[in-house]
Structure 1
Amino acid sequence: MPRPPRAEQFSPDEVCIVHVTQRCVRRAFLAGVDFVTGKDFSYRREWIRRRLESLASVFSVDVLTYSIMSSHVHVILRNRPDVLAQWSDTEVALRWLKVFPGHRLEEHLAEPTENDVQSLVRDKQRLKTIRQRLADISWFMRALSEPIARRANKVDECTGHFWEGRFKAQRIVDETGLLACSMYVDLNPVRAAMADSPDHSPHTSAYDRIEAGKGRQIDSAAFDLKPIPSEQVAKNTRETPVEALRKKQRAKRKNPTGRKVRRDGWLAPLPLDPSTLASEPQVHTDGFRSSDRGFLSVSLNEYLRLLRWTAKHANDTAKLPAGVAQTLAALGIESSMWRDLVWHWENYFGQSTCVGRSESMQADAVRTGHHWHRGQSNASACFV
């Protein structure tokens, strides 16, 4: 059965939550130790995490959950056209030029100038297209995958494909499916025996949230959302050699804003705020992410408690603690099936393009003009 068209799964014009997976070609090692060659590519995990962090600061796309494995990447994304609608034309142009500079008026600079931004703002037709792309998950993944592929090929001194093809996408259609999928993504290193618990699983969203709770901060990889003033360009080109200017710009890339951020400050907050209306965009104003909206109706402590219990009791028959069972019941999840659902996710949703309760999947199938989604019958066994 062929994959459905992207436009059928998600649209930049409506809020959608999508689980995406990007895998290396020929099962090559993205990060970690290649057992054939003995080379250690672990440092590439930080490349990807920082690229995710920088893109979260310019796209109107929230990063909800992620994990970076040896040969693939899992990310749960939520596009936010409602946030995008709050941005001015100048802001849209600047954000786009930070990621896709194209042909700059001042080619020797690594940053867009005021002239570049205003030139794009005047092109109304192109700006309209760009505005839509900033809320498009496909363009977000393109901006993530292409630079990583080029950088890895340069290090490996080779050419050709680095990723095996277009990313795999699963639309998540309800909160029940979102909780299960988030747990599956966060527990990937534990499932692969790369770590014994979420607390020891770097380069996952769970680890970032745990470390942030301890007060950990990191150098921000967010783009500096300020253009270079035109008068400064003229001054620099007269007084500073071009190579010295480029060296200064390369140094800035390590921490574009010069600020520190909580370890999870670039991720979408986990708990939904019950005091806010669903229609409120909750635009983030500090420049680290697109919005401050959460995505689950459980607290971070409840989430981590369930995550740790699931990681610890993968293969035994331990009874769910009362608090954990209550959390699952409130979301309509069959507690006796929870462990099997998370640890054997591929058996339930591995071939599905949609994730959620059976009735939610059925409603989404009708939306797209189909009779059913693959995996729908399996979902009915896990969700009450």
Structure 2
Amino acid sequence: MSNHTHLVLHVNPQQAEAWSMDEVLERWHSLHQGTLLTQMYLNLELRPQLSEVQLQAIRATAEVYRTRLYDLSWFMRHLNEHIARAANQEDQCTGRFWEGRFKSQALLDEAALMACMAYVDLNPIRAKMASTPEDSAHTSVQRRAKAAQLKQAQATNLFPFVGNPREPMPQGLPFELKDYLELVDMTGRMVREDKRGYIDSGESSIIQRLGINEAQWLTLSGEFERHFSGAVGQERLLREYHQHMGHQRTAGLSCSKRLLNRA
């Protein structure tokens, strides 16, 4: 958007924990200079010169880097710094670019995930910056739609749609790409043209599968941030999440009961 960004992210600590030390260091050095010791380690000519004490120090440093590589705060730090530097260079100015720290929300179930994704993908349409999802710049739905149209494939560098949950479940979004594209298009038309009372009797298969009625879905996908400020999910998952985080109260419980209870 013109003054902010929305991201729907999947964090995979298990994948990061499986990386070798070499892969961790190579990934980190693609972003940073690292230390003199890590630079020597990645230089195959200099590596034999390292002592065991130095190798132990490198292993300890690599574990710090490994944690940072799947840490959301570090990711946002890198992303925001890159955008801020580019914007300040373009405007020929210095100083603080972002108004405040980023806000994150945990998406605990499929309904929360789909509602948030649709909310993010439809932002340009609600702001009258685009007329259709496939014309909305800087959105994942545009990239997914173009890839499906031109190559009959899924967009690269985006988490793939892998279909309905099953065993064994491949890593990806538990929906069909076609269903999601139809869902975003349908929801976008309803929000833009204010047709709450004139919805066709046909529903998206995703909405039916999640058990959310049309009025709930329009509220979720059109006013996601207004109703939720923390973790999002069904009542049971929300309670479990806050208990796991050590919170004394379950924030967002009333909205969860009203908007995410199955019909």
TM-score by length of 2: 0.84
**1:147 deviation in Å?**
1.9
Distance 1:268 1:360 in 2: 23
What is the match of residue 318 of structure 1? 198
Q: Secondary structure at the match of 2:10?
A: strand
- 1:289-327 Cα offsets, whole Å, 9 max, x none, are xxxx2122x211111111100001111123245341x42
Q: Could you tell me which amino acid in structure 2 is paired with residue 174 of structure 1?
A: D
What is the match of residue 359 of structure 1? 236
Alignment of 1:76 with 2:8, yes or no, is: yes
Q: Could you tell me which amino acid in structure 2 is paired with residue 295 of structure 1?
A: L
CA contact (8 A) 2:161 2:172 kept: yes
Distance 1:81 1:129 in 2: 13
1:14-25 pair list within 5 angstroms: none
Q: Could you tell me which amino acid in structure 1 is paired with residue 208 of structure 2?
A: A
CA contact (8 A) 1:90 1:117 kept: no
Distance 2:149 2:134 in 1: 12
What is the match of residue 214 of structure 1? 149
Q: Secondary structure at the match of 2:212?
A: coil
Distance 2:168 2:31 in 1: 32
Q: Secondary structure at the match of 1:372?
A: coil
1:23-172 pair list within 5 angstroms: 69-102=1-34, 114=44, 123-172=58-107
Match of 1:380 among 241, 244, 257: 257
CA contact (8 A) 2:21 2:59 kept: no
Distance 1:191 1:78 in 2: 25
Match of 2:111 among 163, 176, 201: 176
Distance 1:130 1:115 in 2: 23
Distance 2:43 2:86 in 1: 25
| Percentage of matched positions with identical amino acids | 35
Q: Which runs of 5+ in 1 are unaligned?
A: 1-68, 218-261, 283-292
Q: Could you tell me which amino acid in structure 1 is paired with residue 157 of structure 2?
A: W
Aligned length: 250
- 1:227-264 Cα offsets, whole Å, 9 max, x none, are xxxxxxxxxxxxxxxxxxxxxxxxxxxxxxxxxxx882
Match of 1:294 among 169, 172, 175: 172
Higher relative contact order (CA 8 A, sep 6+): 1
CA contact (8 A) 1:186 1:205 kept: yes
**1:376 deviation in Å?**
1.9
Note closer, same or farther for the CA distance 1:329–1:263 as it changes in structure 2 (3 Å cut). Answer: closer
CA contact (8 A) 1:89 1:121 kept: no
Distance 2:47 2:230 in 1: 38
**1:131 deviation in Å?**
1.1
Distance 1:130 1:323 in 2: 46
What is the match of residue 211 of structure 2? 332
Note closer, same or farther for the CA distance 1:149–1:113 as it changes in structure 2 (3 Å cut). Answer: farther
Alignment of 1:201 with 2:79, yes or no, is: no
- 1:147-180 Cα offsets, whole Å, 9 max, x none, are 2212221221211111122211111111111111
Q: Which runs of 5+ in 2 are unaligned?
A: none
- 1:45-95 Cα offsets, whole Å, 9 max, x none, are xxxxxxxxxxxxxxxxxxxxxxxx100010011111111133211111101
Question: Quick check: which one's helix share is greater?
Answer: 2
RMSD: 2.7
Question: Quick check: which one's strand share is greater?
Answer: 1
